Amino acid sequence: MTYDFDLVIRGGTVLDGTGEAAFEADVAVVGGRIAAVGPGLARGADEIDAKGLLVTPGFVDIHTHYDGQVTWERRLSPSSEHGVTTVVTGNCGVGFAPCHPEDREELIALMAGVEDIPEVVMADGLPWNWESFGDYLDSVDSQPHDADIGAMLPHSALRVYVMRQRAVDREQATEADRAHMAQLTREAIEAGALGFGTSRAVQQKSVRGQPIPTVGAAEDELRAILGAMTQTGRGVFQALSDFDQFRSVDAEFAMFRRLVAETGRPMSFTLNQKHGDPNGWRRLLDLTHEAQAQGLNIRGQVLGRPTGLLLGHELSQNPFVHCPSYAPLAKMPLARRAAELNRPETRMTLLGELAGTDHMKRTKSVRDWTRMFDLSDPPNYEPEPSDSVAARAQAMGISPAELAYDLLLREGCRAVMLLTAQNYAGYSLDDALDMMKGPHTILGLGDGGAHLGLVCDASWTTTMLAYWTRDRRRGERMALTEVVRKMTSENAQAVGLNDRGRIAAGYRADLNVIDYDRLQLGSPQAVYDLPTGGRRIVQRASGYVATAVSGQVTYREGEATGALPGRVVRGPQAAPHS
pLDDT tens digits, the chain, 578 residues: what are they?
A: 789 999 999 999 999 999 999 999 999 999 999 999 999 999 999 999 999 999 999 999 999 999 999 999 999 999 999 999 999 999 999 999 999 999 999 999 999 998 889 999 999 999 999 999 999 999 999 999 999 999 999 999 999 999 999 999 999 999 999 999 999 999 999 999 999 999 998 888 888 888 999 998 999 999 999 999 999 999 999 999 987 655 689 999 999 999 999 999 999 999 999 999 999 999 999 999 999 999 999 999 999 999 999 999 999 999 999 999 999 999 999 999 999 999 999 999 999 999 987 656 666 778 899 999 999 889 999 999 999 999 999 999 999 999 999 999 999 999 999 999 999 999 999 999 999 998 999 999 999 999 999 999 999 999 999 999 999 999 999 999 999 999 999 999 999 999 999 999 999 999 999 999 999 999 999 999 999 999 999 999 999 999 999 999 999 999 999 999 999 999 999 999 85
How many angstroms separate the CA atoms of 500 and 58, rounded?
8
Cα dist from 559 to 69, 353, 562, whole Å: 19, 45, 9
Whether residue 479 contacts residue 25, with contact meaning beta carbons closer than 8 Å, is answered with: no
Amino acid letter at 75?
Answer: R
pLDDT at 328 (0 to 100): 97
Instruction: Tell me phi and psi for residue 277, to 5 degrees.
Output: -145, 75
- Dihedral angle computed from the Cα positions of residues 418, 423, 427 and 429, in that order, rounded to the nearest 10 degrees: -110
pLDDT at 361 (0 to 100): 62
Amino acid letter at 471?
Answer: D
Longest dimension (CA), the chain: 76
Tell me the domains of the chain and their CATH numbers.
5-56+505-560 (2.30.40.10), 309-421 (no CATH)
pLDDT at 360 (0 to 100): 62
How many angstroms separate the CA atoms of 350 and 347, rounded?
5
Helix (H) or strand (E) holding 177: helix 175-191
pLDDT at 106 (0 to 100): 94
Instruction: Tell me phi and psi for residue 339, to 5 degrees.
Output: -60, -40
pLDDT at 357 (0 to 100): 76
How many angstroms separate the CA atoms of 282 and 285, rounded?
5
Residue from 81, 83, 59 nearest 540 by CA: 81
How many angstroms separate the CA atoms of 431 and 416, rounded?
25
Cα dist from 501 to 200, 356, 578, whole Å: 31, 54, 15
pLDDT at 116 (0 to 100): 85
Which regions of 414-497 does DSSP assign to beta strands (E)? Answer: 417-422, 441-443
